[in-house]
């Protein structure tokens, strides 16, 4: 059986590197961090060293501000607990705060994707430190290195669903950037579960976005393939 899987894996690699067709079947954006890691995102600095976090950690330490995250995993930059497997192995416990709490800084930038929806919606919490201020903690939508949309939390660990109108950006190639440039109080963002939605408010599957993104080239990467093989 092991040899069979090995042969299947080798066949996939051959197709990846020699096939001219668009392989969109394995392409999925890690939009809600349910991989348990930062696949599809690139970090700078140290603020994201213990991310994503697992479970409602603010409630675990009796914070009185439930995270209201989607699924199991989310970005909570004041948090350190990385789940019942990795977290336990590292001696972490539910509710543990990150080293330095708000002190670490950094950015997290998503892979590029095409705007095909009318709106984008996501969960956001944490500090209310706006882009353009001295120490921003926010989430930005960036196109050609220009910030087109931005959003902050409201000085609470509890995330709420927010929305951008992106209808005027249709067809543009964009990235999301989660920014933590503050070491002061409420100097961290929380973020989870981002989607594009059509004009009727229905979320568009990221696989559909990926099919658009392929545009004549491979729609899978090695990091993506590791999730499936």
Q: Is the model's pLDDT at 219 over the cut of 90?
A: no
Q: How confident is the model at residue 211 (pLDDT cuts 50, 70, 90)?
A: confident
Runs of H (alpha helix) within 54-197: 57-60, 88-89
pLDDT value at position 3? 56
Q: Pick 15 or 43 by higher pLDDT.
A: 43
Cis link prior to 52 (omega < 30° from 0)? yes
Q: Is the model's pLDDT at 172 over the cut of 70?
A: yes
pLDDT > 90 in the chain, percent? 78
Runs of H (alpha helix) within 73-203: 88-89
- Total Cβ atoms within 10 A of residue 185: 11
pLDDT value at position 217? 47
Cβ neighbours of residue 129 closer than 8 Å, sequence gap 6 or more: 135, 136, 137, 138, 152, 182, 186, 187
Query: pLDDT tens digits for 184-206?
Result: 999 999 999 999 999 999 999 99
How many C-alpha atoms does 14 have within 13 Å on its Cβ side?
6
What are the domain boundaries of the chain? 2-225
Q: Residue 57 phi/psi, 5° resolution?
A: -65, -35
Task: Give, in order, the Cα–Cα distances in Å from 226 to each of 9, 104, 127.
Answer: 10, 29, 34
pLDDT value at position 28? 80
Domain at 2-225, CATH from 2.30.240, 2.60.40, 3.40.50, 2.60.120? 2.60.120
Residue 168 per-residue DSSP state? G
Q: Per the structure block, which two tokens stand in for 210? A: 């990926």
121-55-191 Cα angle (round to 5): 25
- Beta-bridge mates of residue 165: 119
Distance (Å, rounded) from C-alpha 187 to C-alpha 196? 27
What's the mean per-residue pLDDT of the chain? 87
Q: How confident is the model at residue 5 (pLDDT cuts 50, 70, 90)?
A: very low
Q: Is the model's pLDDT at 14 over the cut of 80?
A: no
């Amino acid at each position: 059986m092991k040899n069979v899987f090995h042969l299947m894996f080798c066949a996939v690699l051959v197709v990846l590197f020699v096939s001219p067709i668009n392989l969109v079947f394995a392409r999925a954006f890690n939009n809600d961090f349910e991989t348990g890691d930062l696949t599809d995102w690139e970090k700078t600095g140290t603020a994201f060293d213990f991310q994503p976090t697992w479970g409602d950690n603010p409630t675990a330490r009796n914070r009185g501000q439930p995270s209201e995250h989607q699924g199991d995993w989310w970005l909570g930059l004041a948090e350190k607990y990385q789940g019942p497997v990795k977290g336990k192995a590292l001696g972490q416990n539910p509710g543990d705060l990150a080293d330095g709490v708000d002190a670490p800084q950094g950015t997290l930038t998503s892979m590029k994707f095409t705007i095909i929806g009318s709106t984008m919606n996501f969960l956001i919490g944490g500090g209310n430190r706006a882009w353009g201020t001295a120490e921003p903690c926010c989430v930005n939508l960036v196109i050609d290195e220009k910030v087109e949309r931005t959003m902050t939390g409201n000085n609470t660990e509890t995330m709420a669903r927010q929305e951008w109108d992106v209808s005027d950006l249709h067809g543009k190639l964009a990235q999301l950037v989660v920014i933590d440039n503050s070491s002061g109080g409420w100097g961290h963002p929380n973020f989870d579960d981002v989607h594009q939605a059509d004009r009727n408010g229905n979320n568009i599957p990221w696989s559909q976005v990926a099919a658009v993104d392929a545009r004549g080239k491979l729609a899978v990467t090695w990091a993506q393939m590791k999730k499936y093989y």
